[in-house]
Amino acid sequence: MTTVRRSLLINGASQGASFLLGLTGSVVVARLLTPEEIGLFSVSLSLIAFGHVFRDFGIGQYLVQAAEISRDRLRSASTMMILISWSVALLFFLARQPAAGFYQNAGIAEILAVLALNFAILPFGAPLLSMLRREMRFDRIALVSISANVVQLAVTVSLALNGFSYMSMAWGSLAGVLATTAILVAMRPADALLMPRLAGMREIFHFGARSSVASLAGQVGSAAPDLIIGGTLGFAEVAFYSRAWGVMNLVMSDFTNIVRGVFFPAFARRVREGASPSAIYLQGITQLTGLTVPLLAVFALLAEPLIHFLFGSQWDRSAPLASLLCAYAMLTAPFVLTGVALVACGKIDIFMRTQLWIQGIRILVISTTVIIDLESMVLVLGLAYCIEVNIYLAAMKKAIGLGFSGLFRCIWRSYALAAIAVSGPGMLLVGSRMTGMYPGSFWQLTIAGILAMTAWLIGVYWLRHPLRSEIETLRRHLSAFLPKGKGER
């Protein structure tokens, strides 16, 4: 098994384990604390979220993509991260009382005081974690992540059982950060607690400033729907839009993040070794779109029965919105790795400008809810996605010389595969409508999923999609674990 395949497997398993631990924690804490206590911590966490954009300052990405990381350069990066993180920690500590006064709740100040300590501790472990990513040691990263989540869950639940109220989650978060740092220091003692070094920080600052602007633009763009729609149309419309966005995000964020986490260091390593950036990108995106584009097509088709089954009839208004958003996402699916590819190539200026343009256009379209309703805004959003495609294409052409024709030659099979994958669920949906049955039951959705999976698998072989070789590799690995026949040795 190649390094990349092994890394994807480990990263996927790690994120799955972290998700289950987080879900377990949410369920348990929801039974131990009141909604008011949980809400208080959530507000505090939202205030802290913007601090994390500046805390890292893109230094983690810099350490992964730099052509060479000497000990002096690591010292400079660690020093800058300490200075910035400690400044953010001090800022939040000083702002705790004003924030508590604004929300008229002293608990905000208590929580922010503890969470500010996270920023003081994180820079001692974050550079070490980035070096593990650079070296693609995802086995060690998984150990760190899962161990920290277990510690955080154990501390949070234990303190909640002992009456620590909302502070149980704050102390649990701090315990998780301490565990992360302690394990990383134990793994890489030679790179821990390095002597500060101010020389060589200009290059790191140049990269980090642009990375932070891009990250901040993404953060603002993510928060814009809630903030703008909540102010123009009301909180109910925010909920309907968020539910629809969540369906699309299962593919475009939750699923692709597993791949992004591995693709970034792998891409950077191959570029350092002299490989063609466009060839690496095409290899990765061809296989990824073979999964994401058909999945988005199936979600777009089955959005109504899926939302009805999972969330109830009160959320049916979100279904057509989810279908449109999934269809739009099919347009930008070939560019989900563009950001990490640009950063890995050191084209941080292009990445920053791309993010500013894309997020600015999205915010502009969402702002039209001042004069139009939610459904109309989502229709107009399709125009924004078309503009995004052209922005991405221009960025890729300038950065790595990859144009539309070269990209299309590699990904057209993924879109043909999507058409094949929806054929079975589509016929089931039409049949259900003709017979007067609403296709929203568990068994109907299960059958639709099986039909989609079967059609997708047939399509992979019929179209000779590059995923076929991955399936064959997986089959060979699985067959090695099966009992052999009498005539085999």
Q: Write the pLDDT tens digit of every residue in 128-172.
A: 888 888 888 888 999 999 999 999 999 999 999 998 888 999 999
| Dist CA 92 CA 277 (whole Å) | 41
Q: How many CB atoms lie within 10 A of CB 135?
A: 13
At residue 363, what are phi and psi to the nearest 5 degrees? -65, -40
Quote the pLDDT of residue 480: 67
- What percent of the chain has a predicted confidence (pLDDT) above 70? 96
Q: Are 118 and 177 in contact (CB under 8 A)?
A: yes
- pLDDT tier at 483, thresholds 50, 70, 90: low
Q: What SS3 state is found at 72?
A: helix
Comparing 474 with 388, the larger pLDDT belongs to 388
Q: What is the pLDDT of residues 72-123, one digit of tens each?
A: 888 888 889 899 999 999 999 999 899 888 878 888 899 999 999 999 998 8
pLDDT attached to residue 300: 94
Average pLDDT of span 438-457? 84
The reported pLDDT for the residue numbered 60 is 85
Let me know: does 365 contact 385? Beta carbons within 8 Å.
no
Helices 277-311 and 374-400 cross at an angle (nearest 10°) of 160
How sure is the predictor about 438, in pLDDT bands with cuts at 50, 70 and 90?
low
What average pLDDT does the segment 246-254 reach?
Answer: 82
Confidence category of residue 489, pLDDT binned at 50, 70, 90:
very low
| Angle between the N-to-C axes of helices 138-161 and 126-134, in degrees from 0 to 180, rounded to the nearest 10 | 140
Locate the domains of the chain by residue range. Answer: 3-199, 207-405
In angstroms, the first-to-last Cα distance of the chain is 22
What is the per-residue pLDDT for 62? 87
Phi, psi of 214 (to 5 degrees): -65, -45
Range 348-364 average pLDDT: 93
- pLDDT at 77 (0 to 100): 87
Average pLDDT over residues 413-435: 87
How large is the average pLDDT for residues 297-307? 91
- For 358-409, how does the pLDDT look when each residue is reduced to its tens digit (9 = 90+)? 999 999 998 988 888 888 999 999 999 999 999 999 999 999 999 999 999 9
**Dihedral sign of CA atoms 294, 300, 305, 307 in order:** positive
The residue-averaged pLDDT of 197-208 equals 84
Q: Quick one: 46 exposed, middle or buried, by C-beta within 10 A (0-12, 13-18, 19+)?
A: exposed
User: Helix, strand, coil proportions of the chain in percent (round to 5)?
Assistant: 85, 0, 15
The H or E element spanning position 145 is helix 138-161
What is the phi/psi pair of residue 439, to 5°?
-80, 60
Give the span between the Cα atoms of 300 and 297, in whole angstroms. 5
Helices (H) then strands (E): counts for the chain: 21, 0
Least confident window among 78-87, 432-441, 468-477: 432-441
The per-residue pLDDT of the chain, averaged, comes to: 86
Query: Of the given ranges (154-158, 260-264, 421-425), which has the lowest mean pLDDT?
Result: 260-264
| CB 53, CB 216: distance < 8 Å | yes
For the chain, give the number of residues.
489
Per-residue pLDDT tens digits for 205-243: 888 889 889 988 888 888 788 778 877 888 788 888 888
What's the token pair of residue 454?
Answer: 């079967």
Per the CB < 8 A criterion, the answer to whether 123 and 57 are in contact is: no
SS3 assignment, position 1: coil
CB 142 within 8 A of CB 169: no
Which of 407-426 are b and which e, b meaning 16 or more Cβ less than 10 Å from the residue's Cβ?
beebbebbbbbbebbbebbb
| Contact (CB, 8 A) for 142 and 110 | no
Inform me whether the pLDDT recorded for 451 exceeds 90: yes
194-208, 367-381, 444-458: range with lowest mean pLDDT:
194-208
- Cα 446 to Cα 172, 302, 315, 395, 431: the distances in Å are 38, 11, 21, 41, 15
Q: How far apart are CA 426 and CA 413, in angstroms?
A: 20
- Write down the pLDDT at residue 116: 92
Task: List CB contacts of 24: < 8 A, sequence separation 6 or more.
Answer: 153
Measured CA to CA, the distance from residue 348 to residue 346 in angstroms comes to 5
For residues 391 and 357, the answer to whether their CB atoms sit within 8 Å is yes
Q: Compute CA 241 distance to the chain's CA centroid, rounded to the nearest angstrom.
A: 19
